[in-house]
A = this chain, B = another copy of it.
Amino acid sequence: MARTGRRPGLGGTRERILAAARSDFGKAGYEGTTIRGIAAQAKVDPALVMHYFESKDGVFRAAMQFPVDPAEFIPRLLAPGLDGLGERLVRFFVETWDSPAGSPFLGLIRSVVGNEDAAAQLREFVTREVLGRLARALELDQPQLRAALVASQLVGLAMLRYVVRVEPVASASTDELAAWLGPTLQRYLTDPRVTKVNRRSRRRR
């Protein structure tokens, strides 16, 4: 979250580390990338990478310009329990996008749609950091599926409200969006019937 407050400082060192990180994550994926490798490519000490970004997740989030930290916001949304979680998620998502912190999201969507590497990185990050955290906390059946369905509705909301700007979704208030989409997310998250589908024919490609 504090990312925008930290400017380069050391003559673009931070930007050089991020460029090295993007290159490494793009080539080797999240698991195959190390702080040490990023540091070597950026010609800095690994301790400096840690100083700027605190962890591999931190470098990754910054390299992707992901504007919020799932380790912070997911526990906060879950704290009041499962009741109303759908509405809280919609509110958090919309309020973040509408705030100054949300402006990088549009860039993130653009880079993901135009670039296979960026899409793979975001998929990995969202799967592990966002959906994985939700999944473990929910302790319900098929949490990965539930979280993916939630993501599908929120990403679609972002596309209609911020990218294509279709009314009345584009100018609706947070209250309206929470009322319209909250029950959808709540069903995906907690309705036992959602996951009772016969998973017969897998899709052919």
Q: For residues 32 through 48 of chain A, which have their beta carbon under 8 Å from a beta carbon of chain B?
A: none
User: Quick check: B148 and A160 within 8 Å, CB to CB?
Assistant: yes
Q: Which residues of B contact A127 (CB under 8 A)?
A: 166-167
Cross-chain contact of A156 among B119, B123, B152 (Cβ < 8 A)? B152
Cross-chain contact of A160 among B152, B167, B194 (Cβ < 8 A)? B152
- CB nearest to A165 among chain B residues: B123
Q: What sequence of 0s and 1s flags, for each residue 165-205 of chain A, a beta carbon within 8 Å of any chain B beta carbon? A: 11111011111100111011001100000100111111100
Looking at the assembled complex, report how far the CB atom of A193 sits from the nearest CB atom of chain B, in whole angstroms: 9
User: Quick check: A163 and B197 within 8 Å, CB to CB?
Assistant: no
Q: What sequence of 0s and 1s flags, for each residue 100-112 of chain A, a beta carbon within 8 Å of any chain B beta carbon? A: 0000000001101
A160 to B131, CA, bound (A): 13
Q: Contact size class for A?
A: 35 or more
User: Quick check: B173 and A152 within 8 Å, CB to CB?
Assistant: no
User: Quick check: B168 and A197 within 8 Å, CB to CB?
Assistant: no
Q: For residues 56 through 106 of chain A, which have their beta carbon under 8 Å from a beta carbon of chain B?
A: 98
User: Quick check: A181 and B149 within 8 Å, CB to CB?
Assistant: yes
A171 to B159, CA, bound (A): 22
Looking at the assembled complex, report how far the CB atom of A204 sits from the nearest CB atom of chain B, in whole angstroms: 8
Q: Which residues of B contact A179 (CB under 8 A)?
A: 197
Query: Please, could you name 6 A-B residue pairs with CB atoms under 8 Å apart, sorted by A?
Result: A119-B163, A127-B166, A155-B156, A155-B159, A172-B202, A174-B203
User: What 4 pairs across the A-B complex have the smallest Cβ distances?
Assistant: A156-B156, A152-B156, A179-B197, A113-B113
